[in-house]
Structure 1
Amino acid sequence: MASTYYQYQPTGTLPVNVPGKSPQQPYAGRHQRNSSAFSQLSASPPERPESVSSSGGGLYSAASSQYASSEYDSSGATSVDLLDYMNDRLSQAYNPVPLDKNLARQAQMSGELNAKNRELLALQAQARARLAKTRANFADGMKAAKDVQRDLEWTQKKVNTLNARAAQKYPDQYRAASERYPAPIDY
Structure 2
Amino acid sequence: MSTAHAYYPAASLPINMPQKPGYYQPTPHHGYGRISASPPEAPESVTTSGVASYEPSATSSSYAGSASEYESNGAAAGVDLIDYMNERVQGSFDPMPLDRSLAKQAQTSGELNAKHRELLELQALAQRRLAGARTNFAQGMRTAKEVQKDLQWTQKRVHALNERAARKYPTEYRTAQGQYPAPVDY
TM-score (norm 2): 0.61
Aligned pairs, how many? 125
Deviation at 1:137, TM superposition (A): 0.4
Q: Which amino acid aligns with 2:135?
A: A
Deviation of 1:100 after TM superposition, in Å, equals 0.5
Distance 1:44 1:97 in 2: 46
What RMSD over aligned residues (CA atoms) do the two structures have, in Å? 2.7
User: 1: distance between equivalents of 2:165 and 2:88?
Assistant: 114
**Which position in structure 2 is the counterpart of 1:88?**
87
Deviations 1:80-110 (A, max 9, x none): 4111111111102211111001110111111
| Higher RCO, Cα 8 Å, sep 6+ | 2
The match for 2:173 is: 174
Matches within 5 A, 1:38-187: 45=7, 74=66, 75-78=68-71, 79=76, 80-187=79-186
Residue 45 (structure 2) aligns with:
none
Give the secondary structure class of the aligned counterpart of 2:182.
coil
Q: Percent sequence identity over matched residues?
A: 58
Larger Rg: 1
Instruction: Give distance in 2, aligned partners of 1:131 and 1:120.
Output: 16
Query: Deviations 1:136-158 (Å, cap 9, x if unpaired)?
Result: 10111111001000100000000
- Aligned equivalents of 2:122, 2:70: Cα separation in 1: 74
Task: Report SS of the residue matched to 1:168.
Answer: helix
- State the TM-score, normalizing by the size of structure 1: 0.60
Please list the CA deviations of residues 25-47 of structure 1 after superposition, one character each: whole Å capped at 9, or x if unmatched.
Answer: xxxxxxxxxxxxxxx99x6949x
* Aligned equivalents of 2:166, 2:65: Cα separation in 1: 141
Deviation at 1:175, TM superposition (A): 0.9
User: Could you list the per-position Cα deviations for residues 68-89 of structure 1 after superposition, in whole angstroms to 9, with x for gaps in the alignment?
Assistant: xxxx753334434111111111
Q: What does residue 22 of structure 2 align with?
A: none
What is the letter of the counterpart of residue 69 of structure 2? G
Task: Give 1 or 2: higher helix fraction.
Answer: 1
Question: In 2, distance between residues paired with 1:179 and 1:89?
Answer: 112
Task: Please state how far the C-alpha of 1:112 moved relative to its aligned partner.
Answer: 0.6
Give ranges in structure 1 of 5+ residues lacking alignment: 1-39, 47-63, 65-71
Report deviation, 1:130. 0.5
SS at match of 2:185: coil
Distance 1:139 1:129 in 2: 15
Q: SS in structure 1 opposite 2:69? A: coil
